Structure 1
Amino acid sequence: MRLLRIFIICHVLMALTLAAPTKDDLTQDTPYIRELLRQAKTSEIESFMDLKADPCHDFYSFSCGNYARINSALSMQVFTTGVFETLNNGLNRKVLKMLNTYDTNDTPEDIQVKHFYESCLRIEELNYTYSEKLKRLIAEFGTMPVLEGSSWKEEDFDWLGTIARIAYQYGKTAIISADVFKDITSNQRNRIYIGAQNFPLQERSMYLNNETLIYRKKYLNVMQSILQRFLAVEEELAKQTAKELLDFEVDLAQGLSSPDQGINELAELLSVAEMQARYSPTIDIKRLLSVSMGEPILEEIYEYNKFYQQNLVEVIKRTPKRTVANYIFLRLIWEFVKSPSDKPEEQKKACVNITTKFFAKNVDNIFYRRYNNEKTSKEIENMWRQLKSTFNETLLSSQALDWIDRPTRNLAIAKLQAMTLKVNNYAEDNFTEEFADLNLQSSDYVENVRQTSLLAAKQKRESLHQPAKPVEAGSMLSYSPANILIENIIKVPVALLQPFYIWSDVYPNAIMFGTLAFLIGHELIHGFDENGRQFDANGNSNDWWDERSSNNFLKRRECFTKQYGRYVYDGIQLKDSTSQSENIADNGGMRLAYTAYRNWYESQMEKDLAKETLPNLKYTAKQLFFITFAQFWCNDVHPKAKALQVSTDKHMPGKFRVIGPLSNFDEFSKEFNCPSGSPMNPREKCILY
């Protein structure tokens, strides 16, 4: 459900393709290897830099001026090139190796996951039976007009009853969703949330903006292809039906919330009777709940984004039942459909992605058990303690945060102390219990998806009467660091445990603080931004800020709105948004990481700090921090994707994630001797944390 993304502040971050060693067994236990790795890092850093650029005019060009030439998204035929793409590719290579081999450490659950992967590889063996299997799924809930033609009986179709029965059986949602999630005001228990389905194109702007028309056309072609290839619908009819379905989905998307809308604005606790009265008879909320959950619902529920339901009432009234029915059944079979590739390597990659989608926890856990480095986990934990200690000192300082009144600052300190960090390895999960009802085999992909869906639907219904468990967000937590606001916890993905990409114990600490510590610091600051400050130390939705401090926050936020609203990207004026949570987190996270590094550096003055520079690189340790921070955001975006990025991504393009925070930071200007009034050292600076 879309609301999950509100509670999880996480990031798909763009940056660099690194010259990192790719062999899993590369060791660092000899002076030669250590020196080789340090020399390689020097070469990589230098290769991305443009020394002709003035660091005080444009530090991104100075640090990343040669990056796009080396890692061109256009020549590589990808949307973007950057550090997270590189990390993801490295993780996927390892996952591919894991899924293609069996060893003595495999658990019975690991083997079932590998069977699922193998069934995806063997999907072509289903041949003509594939279409029949999909049609049998549809027949469980009724008939599909595009398959029945003139014999389809409109009067027999009950759209709400159909989606409710599908949700009960397989957990697949269409049009409107009844989901189970933690109660935002009391997170030890679960409640039902009524809201929008998950939309394939995700954002409202993807359905409505002219800049994203190309993606709607591609989506239209996918729908037409599924109708033709998997349901044997004739081409012209498939084309016409796909157009009707996309128009319907665009109509539904009119009610989606804006990224700027906050949680308290969107979620409203109501009785079932109250929500029934709002939308009856068009949407029978009481029946939707009782059928999809398998029991009458007597407790209060959350309505999430009432504008979606209000829009839905009007859309349903004006949409032909035939279109609604076709849409529901296409949604039903969507995840059961997988087109085989005629290229074995492409098929393997696609099946890795699908397996990760269905079994993200298991894949991450297998990776962690195979590749975990205890030393890495300890380094992350030590870094976390330093970041917390540094931010705690900031919160204690009346001079640093004079805009926050003492009582509110004390509550912020309590929240910081309660905040925890965890590597997302699922080591404590009971997979044996979770897989008790599964018997996945390597021969039938459709049956495996069916079994997995049956189990997921059953577990969702049962969770309503169980204590709330930690938030699960599938593969969303496999690649990106995340602040789970409703739990007051930061989760670090296993992908970041891969050495040499952004950290290594042979690199200067400046590099680790400029990259990994910044990422974690960014997530920490999210706990105190415009969304995070609505959640208290226990992770419950609670307005704990006093009026004066809150007003000061909003005034200081205006500075960021003006600053980032002036930036132009590839000739495109960036959208002027009041929501500045990502920019606030970038600025605060960078300041926090640098201050923690400076504190560490100054505590080491009597020790040998030769390691804090790199061979043949003329920059000081503190300058190296800023260079590696900037190079973390080196990226290249395919020309056709730039308009999409500006239209849909709440994060700034990489260039402005460098020059924005650094131009607000006096310590940066000091290290690079930038004169007052220069572009990277403006006289007016935006500061919150």
Structure 2
Amino acid sequence: MQTSLNSRTPLVIPDSQPKSYNRWLLVVIVILLSLAIALGILYGLEKSKIKPSPPTPTSTPTPQYDDLCLTPFCVKAADYILDSIDETAEPCEDFYQFACGSWLKSARIPEETGVQNTFNQLDQQLDLNVIDLLSSTTVPDTTAAVAHARELYASCMNETKIELDGVEAVLTIVNNEFGGWPILQPPSRSVPGFDLTELLLKLRKYDNGIIFSIATATNQENSSAYDIELGQGTLGLQETEYYNNETAITAAYRQFMIDLASALTNNSMAAIKTDVDEIFALEKIISQYHWSASEQRLRDNETIRTTVGGLAAAFPSSFNFTDYVRQSYLLANVTLLDTDVISVSEVAYLVNVSSILQAAPAHTVQNYLVWRFMMNRANNMPSRIRNTRIQFDRVFKGTSAEPTRAVICSNYVNDNMGFAVSRLYVKKYFDDNARTQSKDIIKNIRASMTKMLEDASWMDADSKAKAVDKAAAIYENIGYPDYIASDNTTQLEKMYAEYIFDTSYIKNVLLMQQVKAREDFRTLHEAVDHRAWGDLPPTVVNAFYEPSTNAISFPAGILQMPFFNKDAPKYLNYGGIGMVIGHEITHGFDDDGRQYDKNGNRIPWWTNTTITQFNERKQCIIDQYSNYTVAQIHKNLNGDQTQGENIADNGGIKSSFFAYQNWAKENPNVDKRLPGLSKYSQEQMFFIGYAHGWCAKFTDAYALNRVLTDVHSIPQFRVLGPLSNFAEFDRVFKCTPGQGNSRVNKCSVW
């Protein structure tokens, strides 16, 4: 992070009129254009026969009409960018303030989310679209999968039925399968027949992640097959740091336990509070062994790879993990073979926590494990139970309201049956032009990234050649998998064959939990399809790189404004979706992705010399971002935790910008300027459009949670970090290294 400032170098901008002039100019241009079109119609003139006069040289910045993009899209884009930028800020001093300052001043943080940003805005529109698709038959469809998705949505929306169903379905499972929840029962310190392994297996049937996590994943050393991954589970408060000090969040967490238990029992408040204190104390001890995301990244070499038959010898523990894993897979009628490969991560956590649970009083362990199940089901129960979770979430997330019931239900269905929802979505809302144009952008950015790899002077020839081969081999998924829109619905119907629901929402949720667990386990002995779409559906606003298949995916949900529009000037598309594409491609060469070869196998394929050079460059990125302070909460970013995303951001903006430069050379004078923004060059608009996509505003609680748990940097530094390292940004805006937004010693991995 730069601390010294040199003299500012002025931007080469024709004029520095305030934003009000730009907005006035935009309005005048639109009015004049409308009049011109009207006059043309009146006099019967054909546009194809009208030749515009050549622009007259002038010393004023007033644009000529043939240099402006005056399409409806361009007028709309100009409007939202003018609403965003703060021209009183110096781009070379703080480009984030320049690009987002006015937006930050006027943006309102939604009471129900704790954050406002481009992704959140797109999610809000997506929510409305999904609600429309699930609540009506505006897009008729005869597939059983779609019918079941609509039935699930209807059961979630039927709050009267949810209230009538009450808590019986959940408490029946707690009492008959889990052995009861002591906090609800008459005070007693004994738990007859308590068996830790049996209880964990019963919980695993409904919820993965309580204490231990077991999942099927692509075998890292043989990407054509699956293996078993055993590791740590989740914490109620997600991260260790939340437990280290008494705060409003820890108080709200314990109050959540008290309120939920009180809503289900007549036990005395004193007895309930005693149990809650014991539950929290146990989880606090467990949290001290929980690995953060940065620790997982730094200690990856501690992972044990063995077989089911060799697990006990390779991973000695007082807890019988071999039996636990075998019994878990039997939930899906999958019998494990001794030769099945298993990968054990967070080893120290597994050993220590299993010992802690075995030594702790059965009463407390039973209370804690069932609590974790109950806290995850609270949102699916009647309002008096839901409200206990709502009050906690308001403190934990910094919110002051909740989403509408329709949004909650549409999100639940989309999260669990997203490919059925996507079948409806792509028919009504997705323009296939996005797929075609995105392929061209990917092709150009892939070529740009290849050139960056070839120019990496710190790589030896052999490592470089293999890296170039890997870039060429990256597979791309764009928009949606073909079977979603196909008349042949066999694959979709097979995917959701077990998703058969009735009118009881809570019973549907409990069924869903069991189906999801079985699905995950069943794939173990199947072959890996490297061309498969993946688990996340097209109806998400996101993008992905999967190292085990060397594939990038860009769902339909992100292929829209402001990231992409088929009618947008290319500088906006390359600054928007182009940067996202470059980011995902660069993930193949970040600190994690670079360890996988072009076929997705995690094997050594770089020389030691090249690895050493790479590590020196990534350390520069780690140190740079670790010095960024989130002023809102007076807390620094974790450069180790975010290093992969930061490397991808830095590589993504470079590869996209170079790809745009190459496109512009091949297509001169095609990209026109936006009305009201004509004083900015196309290259400047590339960076402005890029930064606009990361404007964000959030509550303190949300910011803290993101810093503690997210592998991405806070959006402000996803703009400032990459641009401060990019010499082309300095050239475009005439910045001098050492100014606020430009590092003297630039970090460069790619």
TM-score (norm 1): 0.87
Q: Is the 8 A contact 1:137 1:333 kept in 2?
A: no
Structural mapping, 1:81-230, within 5 Å: 81-102=116-137, 103-127=139-163, 129-138=165-174, 139-150=176-187, 153-167=190-204, 169-170=205-206, 172-208=208-244, 213-229=247-263
Look up the match of 1:540.
601
In our comparison, the structure showing a higher alpha carbon Rg is 2
Q: Is the 8 A contact 2:94 2:740 kept in 1?
A: yes
Distance 1:476 1:137 in 2: 34
Q: Is the 8 A contact 1:289 1:297 kept in 2?
A: no
Look up the match of 2:571.
510
Distance 1:173 1:664 in 2: 39
- Establish whether residue 425 from structure 1 lines up as the match of residue 480 from structure 2: yes
Look up the match of 1:586.
649
Given the alignment, which residue of 413, 416, 422 partners 1:364? 422
Distance 1:162 1:61 in 2: 53
Distance 2:578 2:146 in 1: 32
Letter of the structure 2 residue corresponding to residue 495 of structure 1: G
Q: Is the 8 A contact 2:445 2:659 kept in 1?
A: yes
Distance 1:205 1:41 in 2: 42
Look up the match of 1:51.
87
Distance 1:562 1:507 in 2: 37
Residues 162, 339 of structure 1: alpha-carbon distance in 2 compared, 3 angstrom cutoff: closer
Residues 642, 136 of structure 1: alpha-carbon distance in 2 compared, 3 angstrom cutoff: closer
Residue range with higher mean Cα deviation, 646-655 or 465-474:
465-474
Deviation sequence 1:599-630 (CA, Å, 0-9, x none): 0011112xx42535445532111110011112
Letter of the structure 2 residue corresponding to residue 316 of structure 1: L
Distance 1:561 1:126 in 2: 49
Q: Is the 8 A contact 2:694 2:716 kept in 1?
A: yes
Residue range with higher mean Cα deviation, 381-390 or 328-337:
328-337
Look up the match of 1:458.
518
- Establish whether residue 378 from structure 1 lines up as the match of residue 436 from structure 2: yes
Shift of 1:84: 0.6
Letter of the structure 1 residue corresponding to residue 198 of structure 2: G
Look up the match of 2:509.
449
Shift of 1:512: 0.8
Shift of 1:534: 0.9
Q: Is the 8 A contact 1:147 1:233 kept in 2?
A: yes
Structural mapping, 1:262-273, within 5 Å: 262=297, 264-272=300-308
- Establish whether residue 567 from structure 1 lines up as the match of residue 604 from structure 2: no
Give SS of 2:577's match: helix
Deviation sequence 1:314-349 (CA, Å, 0-9, x none): 321442211211233334455544245699972212
Give SS of 1:194's match: strand
Give SS of 2:124's match: helix
Distance 2:437 2:492 in 1: 28
Shift of 1:229: 3.2
Shift of 1:312: 0.9
Given the alignment, which residue of 454, 457, 481 partners 1:402? 457
Distance 2:453 2:317 in 1: 53
Residues 482, 535 of structure 1: alpha-carbon distance in 2 compared, 3 angstrom cutoff: same
Give SS of 1:422's match: strand
Distance 1:350 1:140 in 2: 29
Distance 2:127 2:620 in 1: 41
Look up the match of 1:79.
114
Look up the match of 2:66.
none
Distance 1:313 1:166 in 2: 16
Look up the match of 1:491.
553
Look up the match of 1:24.
none
Shift of 1:589: 0.6
Shift of 1:451: 2.5
Residues 100, 157 of structure 1: alpha-carbon distance in 2 compared, 3 angstrom cutoff: same
Give SS of 2:599's match: coil
Distance 2:189 2:701 in 1: 42
Residues 390, 610 of structure 1: alpha-carbon distance in 2 compared, 3 angstrom cutoff: closer
Structural mapping, 1:278-293, within 5 Å: 282-293=318-329
Residue range with higher mean Cα deviation, 610-619 or 50-59:
610-619
Structural mapping, 1:596-635, within 5 Å: 596-605=659-668, 608-609=669-670, 611-635=672-696
Give SS of 2:707's match: helix
Letter of the structure 2 residue corresponding to residue 220 of structure 1: R
Distance 1:510 1:317 in 2: 60
Distance 2:156 2:266 in 1: 21
Give SS of 1:291's match: helix
Q: Is the 8 A contact 1:364 1:426 kept in 2?
A: no
Give SS of 2:493's match: helix
Deviation sequence 1:130-168 (CA, Å, 0-9, x none): 22211211213433322333567535110112222443x
Give SS of 2:563's match: coil
Look up the match of 2:413.
355
Residues 505, 465 of structure 1: alpha-carbon distance in 2 compared, 3 angstrom cutoff: closer
Distance 1:344 1:527 in 2: 38
Aligned residues: 650
Look up the match of 2:370.
329
Give SS of 1:624's match: helix
Give SS of 2:167's match: helix
Distance 1:321 1:311 in 2: 17
Q: Percent identity?
A: 23
Distance 1:246 1:363 in 2: 39
Q: Is the 8 A contact 2:116 2:696 kept in 1?
A: yes
Deviation sequence 1:225-273 (CA, Å, 0-9, x none): 4333356766554444344333333322322223233384253112445
Shift of 1:556: 1.6
Residues 119, 78 of structure 1: alpha-carbon distance in 2 compared, 3 angstrom cutoff: closer
Residues 676, 533 of structure 1: alpha-carbon distance in 2 compared, 3 angstrom cutoff: closer
Q: Is the 8 A contact 1:83 1:633 kept in 2?
A: yes
Distance 1:577 1:476 in 2: 31
Deviation sequence 1:338-395 (CA, Å, 0-9, x none): 2456999722122122222322333334322332211011111111111111112222
Letter of the structure 1 residue corresponding to residue 652 of structure 2: G
Residues 209, 302 of structure 1: alpha-carbon distance in 2 compared, 3 angstrom cutoff: farther
Distance 2:123 2:93 in 1: 33
Q: Is the 8 A contact 1:59 1:680 kept in 2?
A: yes
Shift of 1:76: 5.3
Q: Is the 8 A contact 2:293 2:709 kept in 1?
A: no
Residues 322, 474 of structure 1: alpha-carbon distance in 2 compared, 3 angstrom cutoff: farther
Shift of 1:198: 3.5
Given the alignment, which residue of 291, 314, 317 partners 1:257? 291
Residues 488, 446 of structure 1: alpha-carbon distance in 2 compared, 3 angstrom cutoff: same
Residue range with higher mean Cα deviation, 536-545 or 422-431:
422-431
Give SS of 2:600's match: coil
Distance 1:496 1:216 in 2: 36
Look up the match of 1:10.
none
Residues 676, 183 of structure 1: alpha-carbon distance in 2 compared, 3 angstrom cutoff: closer
Distance 1:209 1:614 in 2: 53
Distance 2:538 2:406 in 1: 21
Distance 1:187 1:672 in 2: 45
Look up the match of 1:9.
none
Distance 1:649 1:497 in 2: 23
Deviation sequence 1:265-298 (CA, Å, 0-9, x none): 2531124455435776731112212322224541
Give SS of 2:407's match: helix
Distance 2:269 2:538 in 1: 36
Look up the match of 2:6.
none
Q: Is the 8 A contact 2:187 2:271 kept in 1?
A: no
Letter of the structure 2 residue corresponding to residue 88 of structure 1: D
Gaps of 5+ in 2: 1-22, 24-36, 39-68, 388-400, 485-490
Shift of 1:405: 0.6
Look up the match of 2:61.
none
